[in-house]
Structure 1
Amino acid sequence: MFGQSRGRSAPPALGQHFLRRGALAASLVQQTSVTRQDLVLEIGAGEGALTRPLAARAGRVLAVEVDARFAAVLREQFAADPRVEVVEADFLRLALPSEPYKVAGNVPFARTAEIVRRLTEAWLPPEDAYLVVQLEAAQRIAGAPVAAESLASLRLKPWWHIELARRLGRRDFEPPPDVDAAMLWLARRPRPLVDPEAAPLYRDFIAAGFGRRGQTVRASLGGAFTHRQLARLAHDLRFRLDARPSELSFDQWLGLFRAFALLAAPRARQAVHGATARLPR
């Protein structure tokens, strides 16, 4: 949940940790792109520490809270504010808005991947999402320049601009987590770098490219290109064939995919097809 604890120590089920200071929540909201024209979906409203600054900045706020006790507090607190609608529900089972919207929330660390997947794969994704998550997860999702590119970052970047917007310390939370946190910003690209119809092929290509742990680019992409094609691409895109997949930049991976989509023979496409489904769960 993304809110002030007010001295109450909630059990950190699913990795939930409350922001300790209301001033911090207000400061985080100030970093967002939320304006009076926006509908904001808040994930895990808690007791409303984030809801209040969001309501002051946004046109409408859908404050989603799964805990009935906190939902009751929110209804009482915002009963006179028509801009705030409290929704008592599990976000992962909630129907998302059918109009443009933005997202903010301090999400349970253990459910970060599910929440990011739900938002980014929605029929109508948010324009922006500001999520407080575990620092390690933020780095994995953001990739370069804050960390090496990962399967998670590369699968998102054709459609999302991703930044680690702010680091947070353990003392910013109650109860304090065992790890540091960060606010992750995902901004939907107005012009995707990969066409929607090519999205399944792109994701399969990236999954195949990462292959088994410890493999080189030469080994992981050996079935996607001929030796000559791969050597030429390594020269043109300026990467080493013995590099690990995570050592290549997003731009290099995008260049590889565009070449694959243009040059790949049917047998190469078949080798890549279904690679996403074969990833370990």
Structure 2
Amino acid sequence: MQPKTKYGQNFLIDLNILDVLVRGADLSRRDVILEVGTGMGSLTRHMAPHVGQIVTVEIDRELQALAKRELDQHPNITMLSLDVLRNKNHLRDEVLECVRSKLELIPNGQFKLVANLPYNVATPIISNLLSTNLVPERMVVTIQRELAERIVAPPGCKDYSALSIWMQSLCDCEILRMLPSSVFWPRPKVESAIIRILPKPEKRARIVDLPYFHTTLRALFFHRRKFLRSQLLTASQDRLSKPQVDEILARLGHSESLRAEQLSVEQIIELLEATRQASQL
């Protein structure tokens, strides 16, 4: 069977890398695992003896049929054949409901995302999970190296983006290992990385209105080379006047000639909360 490029299929063939994923996930019998991209079932099979339940999702029906032969012997594995994304901004309800139903079976169960994510859907899966009311205790995933570096990027560097701030404002993020293309079949044209993402409730609590924060943050970085004053006016979509923006920048001690990419995560959180409050006046 040949991998399908339209699904971003690159199968992990170095079994030592599976151990890195499993160690990073700190698996236990309390865990309900969501795996996106069952593939041949190698990681699924590796995790099954160590966890309570696995919900594994594969969009490719032919591939799922092959994996099913290998995984049928494990009663704690539930296989779903569908696209995990309803659209680019939302995960499919059926997947989240399946995870919830498995959590109800396990006292004090905890939800984790552990997967070799298809490159073409990695960003929306990781990002959108943080917007749901079913946030994982952790995510340990293999993704494109470029994406991993964007997630952990510090202020002021070229990789620092709305995604960096979104992830770091809600989570502790750490790259566990860089992976050469040789550990996959077929070899991708890019390098990969294993990243561990730990959502932190205390970080989430700092953000009063999460949908507003997420939407405005993305708009703020849409024209990242504009100066901060112009970025805020554009991002506010006419909810803020120029005098209001000038007052906010002066109060927070920011020059209007700064750019958003020069501000720390904490400064962005403070700035967007100030704009949210001002827009409600």
Band the TM-score falls in, shorter-chain normalisation: 0.7 to 0.9
- Give the equivalent residue in structure 1 for 2:212: 201
Q: Show the 5 A alignment for 1:158-173.
A: 158-173=169-184
Q: Show the 5 A alignment for 1:101-140.
A: 101-140=111-150
Answer with 196-205 or 99-108: which moved more.
196-205
Q: How many residues align?
A: 255
Which letter maps to 1:186? Answer: I
- Give the equivalent residue in structure 1 for 2:249: 230
**8 Å contact from structure 1 (residues 131, 184) kept in 2:** yes
**8 Å contact from structure 1 (residues 21, 172) kept in 2:** yes
Which letter maps to 1:220? Answer: Q
Offset, 1:206: 2.1
Offset, 1:50: 0.7
Answer with 52-61 or 210-219: which moved more.
210-219
CA-atom RMSD, angstroms? 2.8
Q: Does 1:64 align with 2:83?
A: no
Offset from partner CA, 1:208-236 (integer Å, 9 cap, x none): 4335241122332354844354134136x
Identical aligned pairs, as a percentage?
Answer: 27
Q: Does 1:182 align with 2:197?
A: no
Shift in CA distance, 70/205, structure 1 to aligned 2, threshold 3 Å = closer
Q: Show the 5 A alignment for 1:193-272.
A: 193-194=204-205, 198-210=209-221, 212-221=223-232, 223=242, 225-234=244-253, 241-262=256-277, 264=278, 266=280
Offset, 1:195: 6.2
Q: Does 1:10 align with 2:20?
A: no
Which letter maps to 2:252? Answer: L
State the SS of the aligned residue for 1:86: strand
Shift in CA distance, 144/58, structure 1 to aligned 2, threshold 3 Å = farther
State the SS of the aligned residue for 1:31: helix
Shift in CA distance, 151/216, structure 1 to aligned 2, threshold 3 Å = same
Answer with 225-234 or 124-133: which moved more.
225-234
Q: Which runs of 5+ in 1 are unaligned?
A: 1-7, 268-281
Answer with 35-44 or 90-99: which moved more.
90-99
- Give the equivalent residue in structure 2 for 1:47: 40
**8 Å contact from structure 1 (residues 148, 246) kept in 2:** no
Which letter maps to 1:189? Answer: K
**8 Å contact from structure 2 (residues 112, 137) kept in 1:** yes
Q: Distance in 1 between matches of 2:206 and 2:119?
A: 31
Offset, 1:144: 2.6
Q: Distance in 2 between matches of 1:112 and 1:78?
A: 24
Structure 1 length as normaliser, TM-score? 0.77
Shift in CA distance, 130/209, structure 1 to aligned 2, threshold 3 Å = same
Q: Distance in 2 between matches of 1:45 and 1:106?
A: 8
Offset, 1:177: 1.0
State the SS of the aligned residue for 2:193: strand
Q: Distance in 2 between matches of 1:208 and 1:114?
A: 17
Offset from partner CA, 1:188-212 (integer Å, 9 cap, x none): 2223444676123323442443352
**8 Å contact from structure 2 (residues 37, 57) kept in 1:** yes
Q: Distance in 1 between matches of 2:146 and 2:7?
A: 16
More helix by share: 2
